[in-house]
Chain A
C-alpha cells in the first residue's frame, strides 16, 4: 500500500508520480527526495533546444531593424498599433515554445524535486514577460542564471541573476545612467530618440530597489530610500553588450547569457557610496558585486529566504521555529541552498499534513499529465489552459512573482476553471484509464479518503470518474 510519506514526497516536493513510481517511492520516501538535491549534469533536451540569450537579443535587434524599415517616420499615422504590440507579436512564438519546453521538462524529468526548486527560485528572481520588452527573456534567464545554482550558493545565484541581460532589461537597469557619469554630461550621438523613446539621461532605481526588497533582505531589511538611491548609483553602467559588440562572437559563444553582461564605465556613477551603513569604494563593477555579496550574507536575507521556502513547501504560514531553523542552516553554510533544502526535508512538519497547500495552476497541469499520462497538450492548448486558470508561466504581473498563498488561488473562478479543464481531460484520458477509483488509490494510497474514493467509484463513466479524480481535494492539494 502507498504510504502517506510516499504521497507527501511525490506531491509536496515533486509533481506527483504515476502508480509504478509511487510503489518505488514507498520503499524510501525521504531518500527519494534527497537524492534529487544535486547539481544537474546534463540539461534536459527540451531546454537545450531553446534559443540562447544571445539569440533572443539578436531577435530583438532584428525586429527593431525591420520595424525601422517599415516605419520610416514614426508619426502617429504610420503607427497603426503600438511599438510594443508589434514587438510582442514578433517574439510571441518564442515565448510559447519556451512555456511548452518548461512544461515538457517537468512532466518527463527523472528529478522532479530539482525541477520544483528551479520553479521556486525562478519565481523568487522573477523576470516577467508581462512587460512587453521582456517577453522573450525569462526562459533563457531561468536556464542560465537560476538552474545551475538551485543546489549551490545563493550568492552565486544572486550575482548571476542580477547581472543577467534579462534582469538588467526587465528592471530597467540598462537604461540607468549615473547622474555625474560621462554619459550624463555628454551622451553618445547614436543614442538618439526613436519612436518617442528618448535616450536615457539619468538614474533609474528599479533594479536596486527590487534586489533589496524582493531578492535579498526583504522589505523589513532595514534599508531606506537613500540606500536604494545609492545602491542604484553603484550599479549604473551594468548594461548589456550591443549586437555590434557581441554579434561577431555570437557563433562562438556557448550561449550563456551572462557573457553578455557589459560594464559601461562611461555610464557608471563615479565615487564611493554607502549602502546600509557600509561604504563601498569606487571599484568599477566590483563595487556593485561587493554589495551583492554582503546582501547575500545578511541575516535578514537568511530569514526572508527561509520564510519563502517554508511557505512554498510546507504551509502558507510556517511556524517561527521552522523559519529560524532554516535561516540558521543558511547562515551556517554560507547560503548553501542544497544544505538548506536538505534541512527542509528533515523537518517533521514537512511530512505531517498531506494536503496543506493548493497546487498552483501550472503545477496542477504538470501533475495531471505526469501522473495520468495525458492528455497530450500542444503548445497552444497548454497556454490556453494555463491562461484560463490565471497563470501564464513567465508572466506574473510584477517582479514579486506568483503568490504562494492558498487564498490567492482558491477563488470560485479558479476552482471552476479547473473543473472545466478536468472534464475535457477526463474524456481524453478515459481511452487509457478505465478504473479511475483504482487509479486514485494507486496515486494516493492511505491518504485517499473513503468519501472521495466512493465519489469516483460511483461515477457514471470512466470519463466522469477521471474528472472527479482530477478535481478531488486529494488531487487539487499537495
Chain B
C-alpha cells in the first residue's frame, strides 16, 4: 500500500498537477517542477523542548516548570498558543506564522533511541541513526542520500567547516562555509587537484569544494546562523543543485540561567526564528517543495535545577516545517507531567521515537522506498513504524 502511495505521488509530481490535490492555500498549478528539498538542522547541546514548545494546557505544567517557564499565553510577552495544550516560546514568532499557514508540525515528547543523557553518545545516535552509540560509522542522512531514487553525487551539502557524523558515509557530498580568505587562483587549484590524484580522500574533498564554490558565487558570506540558513536556501533553490542541506546550531546546553531574557536559550531561539525566515526567503519558490527538520540529541529535565537552568534529560521537541509539510497541528502522544508520569522521575517521558518521524519524512517527502529505509538508512529498527501523513502529497511544485 505504501508503495502504491509513493507511485501515485511520483506520477502526479511528474505531470505537474499535484498542486490541485493540495490543501495548501497558497499553491496554484505550477511549473517547472523542482525536486523535493530537505534541510536538517541539528541543535547540539540538548534543546529544552519544554521551553521551545511549552505545554500550558497540562495542569501540572506551571508547577513543574516553576522559575523557568515563559509567561503563559495571553499575558505580556507570553507564549504563543497553538492549541489547548501546546504553545510556542515567545521568540518563535515566525514559527507561529507557519503554524497558521499549516506549514509547521511540532513534535513533542520525542527522543532518539538512546536514553543515557550523555551529549556525545546521544549526538552520535542522533547522527548515525542506530539505537546504540558508535554502532554505525556513517550517518543516516548520508545513507538516505544513497537510497534516493536516481541517487547521484553531490545531492547533499553540509554548511559546515568540518564534517559531522550525520553526513559521513559512502554517498559523495560536499561542504561549504563562508570564507574570510581570498579565493585561490584557478591555475593553482588545478595544479593542487593534479597533485591529489594519488590521495583519494584529498582528491574527492577538493573536487566537492570546487563545485560548491562555483555555486556559492552569489551567497552572502556572513557566518551567523541567519546567514548560514540563507546560504542553504541559495544552494537548494538551484534546480540542479544539492537537494539536502545540513546545518548545525550550537549552544543549547543550558545548565544555568536559561530563563533570563538575554540568556543563551532565549538568544538561541531568537536566532532559530530569524534563521527560518531567512531560509524561506532564500528558497523562494522552492520553499513549497521543502521540508525543514529541526532536531536535538535530547530534551532537558522537567524541573529547574539548582542554578536556574535544566540538566540533561530525555524526551523533548522536534519540528518539521516548510511548504511541503502537512502542518497546523502538534504531533504528540502526550505523557503528562505529574511526578509519576516522568521518565525516571525527572524527564519528559519519550513517547515518539524520533526515527519514526524521520522515516516518515524520507518516505513521503523524498520518495525513498520503505524497504530501503529499513535496510539501509535505519537498520534494525523494524519495530519503529514510520509516522504517516507528515507531508502534502502534492507539494513538489513551485508556487507562483
Instruction: Spell out A's residues near B (CB within 8 Å).
Output: 76, 79, 81-84, 130, 172, 175-177, 179, 195-198, 200-206, 209, 213-214, 219, 225, 384-385, 387-390, 397-398, 400, 403, 406-417, 419-421, 423-424, 449, 451-452, 455, 459-460, 464, 467-468, 471-473, 476
Contact = CB atoms under 8 A, between A and B. Distances in A.
Given A76-B261, A417-B161, A388 B180 contact: yes
Nearest to B197: A451
Given A219-B120, A449-B198, A197 B181 contact: no
B364 to A, nearest CB: 30
Interface string B234-271: 00000000000000001101011101111110010000
Contact of A417 (B118, B179, B261): B179
Contacts of B187: 460, 464
A205 B312 CA distance: 9
Nearest to B198: A451
A414 B202 CA distance: 10
5 contacts: A390-B160, A412-B212, A413-B161, A413-B162, A414-B205
Nearest to A460: B187
A200 B307 contact: yes
Given A197-B308, A407-B163, A400 B120 contact: yes
Interface in B97-118: 116-118
B303 to A, nearest CB: 9
A410 B201 contact: yes
B132 to A, nearest CB: 11
B329 interface: no
B184 interface: yes
Given A219-B120, A420-B179, A198 B209 contact: no
Nearest to A360: B162
Contacts of A464: 187-188, 191
B157 to A, nearest CB: 9
A414 B307 CA distance: 38
Contacts of B191: 455, 459, 464, 468
Contacts of A384: 180
Given A84-B262, A451-B198, A389 B161 contact: yes
Nearest to B303: A202
A403 B161 CA distance: 13
Interface stretch (B145-153, B169-177, B368-376): B169-177
Contact of A409 (B162, B177, B192): B162
A214 B309 CA distance: 22
B311 A198 contact: no
Given A198-B67, A411-B161, A414-B161, A468 B255 contact: no
B206 interface: yes
Contacts of A421: 181
Given A420-B184, A473-B199, A413 B306 contact: no
B94 to A, nearest CB: 21
Given A387-B180, A413-B160, A397 B175 contact: no
A177 B206 contact: no
Interface residues of B, number: 69
A430 B109 CA distance: 60
B194 interface: yes
A277 B225 CA distance: 45
Contacts of A196: 257, 259-263
B198 A219 contact: no
B119 A202 contact: no
Contacts, number: 193
A473 B196 contact: yes
B133 interface: yes
B195 interface: yes
A413 B175 contact: yes
A204 B305 contact: yes
B163 A411 contact: yes
B37 interface: no
State the 8 A-B residue pairs at the shortest beta-carbon distance, nearest first: A202-B306, A390-B161, A196-B260, A82-B262, A412-B209, A412-B208, A416-B209, A420-B181
Given A411-B175, A416-B206, A419-B192, A200 B158 contact: no
B119 A203 contact: no
Contacts of A81: 262
A187 to B, nearest CB: 11
B300 interface: no
B181 A415 contact: no
B355 interface: no
A407 B138 CA distance: 10
B255 A206 contact: yes
A257 B198 CA distance: 49
Nearest to B207: A412
Interface string B42-75: 0011000000000000000000000100000000
Given A468-B191, A476-B202, A204 B262 contact: no
B199 A172 contact: no
A388 B213 CA distance: 15
Residue from A385, A390, A471, A476 with most neighbouring chain B CB atoms (10 Å):
A471
Given A198-B308, A205-B311, A468 B192 contact: yes
B42 to A, nearest CB: 12
B78 to A, nearest CB: 15
Contact of A410 (B121, B195, B202, B264): B202
Contact of A419 (B120, B206, B257): B206
Contacts of A390: 160-162, 177
Nearest to B306: A202
B20 interface: no
Contacts of B264: 84
B392 interface: no
Contacts of B25: none
Contact of A175 (B164, B184, B251, B306): B306
